[in-house]
Amino acid sequence: MDTSKFFRSFGYALKGITTVFKEEFNARVHFLAALVAVTLGVVLKVTWFEWIILILVIGGVFAMELINTSIEGLADLYSREHNPKIKKIKDLAAGAVLVAAITALLIGLVIFLPKILNQFHFNLR
In sequence order, the 6+-apart residues with CB closer than 8 A to the CB of 119 are 44
CA distance 89 to 70: 12
Instruction: Assess whether 65 carries a catalytic annotation.
Output: yes
Q: Which of 23, 24, 50, 65 is catalytic?
A: 65
CA distance 58 to 42: 15
Intra-chain end-to-end CA distance of the chain, in Å: 54
Q: How far, in Å, are 59, 89, 106, 117, 119 from residue 109 at the CA level?
A: 17, 30, 5, 11, 15
CA distance 50 to 106: 13
Q: Point out the residues that are catalytic.
A: 65
